Structure 1
Amino acid sequence: ALAGLAAAAAWAQAPRPVQADELLPERVLVGDVTARRALVTRAYAPLAASQGSLLETLSAYLGAGRSLEAAARTLYVHPNTVRYRLRRVADVTGWDPLDARESYVLQTALALGRLDDAGASAIVERS
């Protein structure tokens, strides 16, 4: 609750009261390690472990400015394929990438997961 209170100002449109779990990206910004772990565990890890290119599709969608058509061109698939995969992302994570707020949560989780993966790779390379 205290972590949520510290981060609430970062999301001006947040409903009041707002649960601390709804402020995960903002809590990460203020240095909350528990929120960071939660985002990676609840969003990035399940997508990385899933079948069907969900992580790649989410990354293409977010990287294309949240454009279904641009993501489809990047992936060389039909836009309906992108829509289907993004619905699967929502099923797997509980956050809908087609919703502006929830796509922000997913984009933060994607960045954190990649940072964790890069850090793990750097440790292995040093050994």
Structure 2
Amino acid sequence: MPRPYLVARLAAACRVPLTAALTESAVADLPEQVRQAKEVLDVARWFGKGPGVYLLPDVLVEYQLTRPTAATPALAALLDPLDGHPELLATLETHLALGRARRRTAEALHLHPNTVDYRLRKAAGLTGLDPSDDAHLQRIAAALAARKASGQARAVQPG
């Protein structure tokens, strides 16, 4: 399915960035596809995707990670030690959303890069999950996704 030109034209006409999700469906499958399009849009917003048009293939991993399973509460709980430290959680989320780029994270949060390092070390100390350790990244990403799916986390704004 081609990316629709209509969304770009609407965004230009309204002079605002638009984010949309699309699916393709037979009439009989319409209710299910409407539900899926809403979920794709939610996932795109939760993960700070910029304005544009999103299809399920654009957010496959994030979509799957946000589906409730028996593991979801346990994954979300991995970051519970950060609940009293919203600045640490925001730094961790932003750092991962920006590809673990220290300077970009600092710029996005209006912080000194050393403050980013301090916050990430503090988050690692509280959770036992170090974002600089490649072996911990999947677990951190899954925990963030589980928290987003359960409404415990804010949407990351791309920087």
Question: Normalising to structure 1: TM-score of the pair?
Answer: 0.61
Q: Secondary structure at the match of 2:147?
A: helix
Q: Which residue of 2 aligns with 1:33?
A: 69
**What is the one-letter code of the residue matched to 1:37?**
P
Q: Which residue of 2 aligns with 1:82?
A: 116
1:58 to 88, 92, 96: 92
* Residue pairs, 1:62-73, within 5 angstroms: 62-73=96-107
The answer on whether the counterparts of 1:52 and 1:85 sit within 8 Å (CA) in structure 2 is no
CA–CA separation in structure 2 for the residues paired with 1:115 and 1:35: 12
1:99 to 130, 133, 136: 133
C-alpha displacement of 1:111: 1.1
Structure 1 67/109 Cα, relative in aligned 2: closer, same or farther at 3 Å?
same
Query: Which fold has the larger relative contact order, with Cα–Cα distance below 8 Å and residues 6 or more apart in sequence?
Result: 2
Question: Structure 2 unaligned runs (5+)?
Answer: 1-63, 153-159
User: Which is helix-richer, 1 or 2?
Assistant: 1
Count of matched residue positions in the alignment of Structure 1 and Structure 2: 88
* Residue pairs, 1:11-50, within 5 angstroms: 33-43=69-79, 45-47=80-82, 49-50=83-84
CA–CA separation in structure 1 for the residues paired with 2:103 and 2:84: 23
Question: Structure 1 unaligned runs (5+)?
Answer: 1-27, 119-127
The answer on whether the counterparts of 2:129 and 2:140 sit within 8 Å (CA) in structure 1 is yes
The answer on whether the counterparts of 1:96 and 1:102 sit within 8 Å (CA) in structure 2 is yes
**What is the one-letter code of the residue matched to 1:35?**
A
**What is the one-letter code of the residue matched to 1:100?**
D
CA–CA separation in structure 2 for the residues paired with 1:41 and 1:111: 11
Instruction: Give the alignment's Cα RMSD to 1 decimal.
Output: 2.2
C-alpha displacement of 1:57: 0.1
C-alpha displacement of 1:54: 0.7
CA–CA separation in structure 2 for the residues paired with 1:97 and 1:37: 21
Structure 1 37/52 Cα, relative in aligned 2: closer, same or farther at 3 Å?
closer
C-alpha displacement of 1:52: 5.6
State the percentage of identical aligned residues: 38
Question: Normalising to structure 2: TM-score of the pair?
Answer: 0.50
**What is the one-letter code of the residue matched to 2:105?**
A
Deviations 1:43-77 (A, max 9, x none): 2x322x12260110001100111111110010000
